[in-house]
Amino acid sequence: MALMTKEQYIESMRKLNIKVYMFGELIENPVDHPIIRPSLNSVAMTYELAHDPEYEDLMTATSNLTGEKVNRFCHLHQSAEDLVKKVKMQRLLGQKTASCFQRCVGMDAFNAVYSTTYEVDKKYGTNYHERFVEYMKLVQKNDWTVDGAMTDPKGDRSLSPSQQEDPDLYVRVVERRPDGIVVRGAKAHQTGSVNSHEHLVMPTIAMRPEDKDYAVCFAVPSDAEGLFMIYGRQSCDTRKLEEDADIDLGNKMFGGHEALVVFDDVFVPNERIFLNGETDFSGMLVERFAGYHRQSYGGCKVGVGDVLIGAAALAADMNGVARASHIKDKLIEMIHLNETLYSCGIACSSEGHPTLAGNYEIDMLLANVCKQNVTRFPYEIVRLAEDIAGGLMVTMPSEKDFKHPEIGPICEKYFRGSSKYPTEHRMRILRLIENMALGTAAVGYRTESLHGAGSPQAQRIMISRQGNLEHKKELARKIARIDEASIAEREAAASKK
């Protein structure tokens, strides 16, 4: 079963006994819950398109481990071309779902853990890489969706994990046994966790020697004993619970979600442990995962942006202002910003290089530049979309008002735009923009663009590290004909005074 179908994926999730809380209640059937199901549909699209001959080249790849065809979301990148195809695949899925399709974090974790474990073994003689290769064969064989879990609650950010008043604010090992470890803690903001077969857990920051118990990487089933989730709220989420809800949902079929994943003394067998106390490699794992995930945003956010730009253009048509020069200029600016993000994603992929383990890694500097732009441009794209849509986007009556026998005709009359378009079509487009800008899809576009894969400052720190400022200074010295030897002499003379 190297490639699951959409239907097989949905049924595989039904077989899991995942423990999810929402609104203070334990959800008996997460798969069919009206709030959760749209996010499951988004993941299902990653399986559906893998069987479409039109998209086979983007959606599938040949495994370097087994030689079999696998879903690209389970693939270890083998070339710069693979990295480029990853970004193109993500743009495609953003266009198809207008939301977060949730498998990127697992794919990015696979590639980061694969290369890091190789280097850990090389230094310490451990067998983490061998274990992870066997785990990846299982992932590929079963076509699992895996949640890449990195972000801890963190508590007081000025304190290291071992200095926290509550030691559980970072995931940690609480017991080491001959056959494995017991872990405790939580991972926050976990994208698609409820729709995942497995969780691949990584440390969230570079660790010091005293943080040994927190330098841990492992994989567990999503229904492992002691693991449970608390579903995150989103704006307008309870609209999905309304009877016969349709137009007011905006994006009815697809969505994303985040959850707090709690590890309440979860046992992890040795074969699923990929880092266990090697603090000097925790930073490498974090930076590599972050780099891959920052590359991802140059694809997925662009695809969702394509839909939002199209919705804004349709809103202009329906408002009767499509020919206005300022509207045209705003749409051009939205396209320009969106394609700039895509250019960054393609650039960091095209400059990819092999790791010591053999899989390919993006250009880290360009990946961080990509994500830094993603923290800004989608906000401007959303602002322009709201500008074009007009205030009716957030003041429009409900769908039930439009369908009411008495006030419905009044709404139909007074909320119509251009006579070329039915009022209902205008409602649908405005609700779609609202959903993407303010509602349940905003978590997968606007807000996630800022905080996903690290906050803006995290990218600026990496840009500072990787920007090679000394090299740029040397370039300027040579062009300006400044003798570096004379500078050294002056510094030496000054130090003697």
Q: Does residue 349 form part of some domain?
A: yes
Q: Does residue 69 form part of some domain?
A: no
CATH of the domain at 465: 1.20.140.10
Q: Does residue 302 form part of some domain?
A: yes
Strands (E) in 208-367, as ranges, are 216-221, 227-231, 258-269, 273-276, 353-354, 360-361
Mode of pairing for the β-strands spanning 20-22 and 25-26 = antiparallel
What residues are paired with 382 via a beta bridge?
Answer: none
Closest listed residue to residue 300, CA positions, set 93, 440, 50: 93
| 238 contacts 231 by C-beta, under 8 angstroms | no
pLDDT value for 447:
79
Neighbours of 321 (CB within 10 A): 16
Q: Which domain holds residue 443?
A: 286-469
Q: Does residue 185 form part of some domain?
A: no
- 439-483 pLDDT, tens digit per residue, is 777 677 877 888 888 888 889 988 999 999 999 999 998 999 998
Q: Report residue 416's pLDDT band, with 50, 70 and 90 as the boundaries.
A: very high
Q: What are phi and psi of 415, to 5 degrees?
A: -110, 15
| 263 contacts 191 by C-beta, under 8 angstroms | no
pLDDT value for 486:
73
Assess whether pLDDT exceeds 90 at residue 495.
Answer: no
Whole-angstrom CA distances from 387 to 216, 320, 327, 330, 354 are: 47, 14, 9, 9, 45
Q: Does residue 313 form part of some domain?
A: yes
The alpha carbon dihedral of 236, 242, 246, 252 has a sign of: positive
| 176 contacts 215 by C-beta, under 8 angstroms | no
Q: What are phi and psi of 293, to 5 degrees?
A: -75, -30
Q: Does residue 186 form part of some domain?
A: no
Mode of pairing for the β-strands spanning 198-201 and 146-149 = parallel
Closest listed residue to residue 376, CA positions, set 330, 340, 329: 340
- 154-211 pLDDT, tens digit per residue, is 999 999 999 999 999 999 999 999 999 999 999 999 999 999 999 999 999 999 999 9
Q: Does residue 200 form part of some domain?
A: no
pLDDT above 70 as % of the chain:
99
Number of folded domains that form the chain: 1
Known catalytic residues are 100, 104, 191, 258, 293, 297, 300, 448
Residue count (the chain): 497
Assess whether pLDDT exceeds 70 at residue 1.
Answer: no
Q: Does residue 329 form part of some domain?
A: yes
